[in-house]
Chains A and B, each alone.
Chain A
Amino acid sequence: MPAWSVRLIRGALVYLVAGAMIGAMLLSAAARGVAVPVGPARALHAELLLFGWLVQFTMGVAYWMMPKHATGPERGPVAPIVAAWLLLNAGVWLAGLGQALLWPDPVVIAGRAAEAGAVLAFAVNLVPRVKAFGAGRSPSP
């Protein structure tokens, strides 16, 4: 498994545990009738699990498993993956904490923009790899 997949999937697992922890606290608070700021906590819970866990995990697995190139770097240029990782994590923190701590709207908007940028950067690497396995390789004699 390439190093960037390991990095992305390990990050996703950390978000899974963090997001599940917030979800468990929300569920427990609802069961006990304890008043908690449900809206902000739920927004952070959703941000961590949808973008931090699901999107990041998917990126890590796709970078590992999609068809490799026959020539040049086998998994394509690394720079878009580095950019996707940085932007996605910055986006999760900005949008998640921005909603949870009721920070000004521009922080959340910046977070959402970073998440969108992460997906675009990831697509730059991945789209050329959406092809049949073995495409571009010369047939063996």
Chain B
Amino acid sequence: MPLLTRLCLRAGLAWLVIALAAGLWLAVSPMGAPPGLRPTWIHLITVGWITNLIFGVAHWMFPRASREQPRGQAFWGWVAFGGLNVGLLLRALAESFPGPSAPAMLEAAAVFQLGAGVAFAIHIWPRLTVR
């Protein structure tokens, strides 16, 4: 299993644990939890857990791009992994612990996560070939 896949799966598992903790917080103290925690919780599961898993497994198992570069241009895979996780971290921090720097963090999170989606599409598209 390639390094990028291992990191995606480990990050996904870590986000799942964090999502479960956030869900517990919301269940135990719905009024005491920060208002932004609910959308963050949804994104911890859908982006942090599911999307990391998809990115990692697709990088590992999709058809080879070429004999020389079986997994295509890994650079875009790393950009997707970095953007997804840094973006989610910034969003989770900004929405869970709002402060003066929260708007800038949310702006950065938007750019990082959009960049991750675009990078993943660029990375995987050439490997989608009919055989």
Tally A residues with Cβ within 8 Å of B: 28
Q: Which residues in B have their C-beta under 8 angstroms from that of A57?
A: 54
DSSP class of A's interface residues: helix, strand, loop or mixed?
Answer: helix
Check B117 against A20 for contact (C-beta < 8 Å).
Answer: yes
Q: Which of B106, B118, B121, B129 contacts A1 (CB 8 A)?
A: B129
Min CB gap B120→A, angstroms: 7
Which A residues are CB-close (under 8 A) to B117? 16-17, 19-21
Q: Does A109 contact B (CB under 8 A)?
A: no
A-B interface pairs (CB < 8 A), number: 69
B107 and A28 within 8 A (CB): yes
CB under 8 Å from chain B, chain A span 3-47: 3, 5-6, 9-10, 13-14, 16-17, 19-21, 23-25, 27-28, 30-33
B118, A17: Cβ atoms closer than 8 Å: yes
| 20 CB < 8 A contacts A-B | A1-B62, A1-B63, A5-B128, A10-B125, A10-B128, A13-B120, A13-B121, A13-B124, A16-B120, A17-B117, A17-B118, A21-B117, A23-B114, A24-B110, A24-B111, A25-B110, A31-B102, A31-B106, A33-B103, A57-B54
B interface, CB within 8 angstroms of A = 46, 50, 54, 61-63, 91, 102-104, 106-107, 109-111, 113-114, 116-118, 120-121, 124-125, 128-131
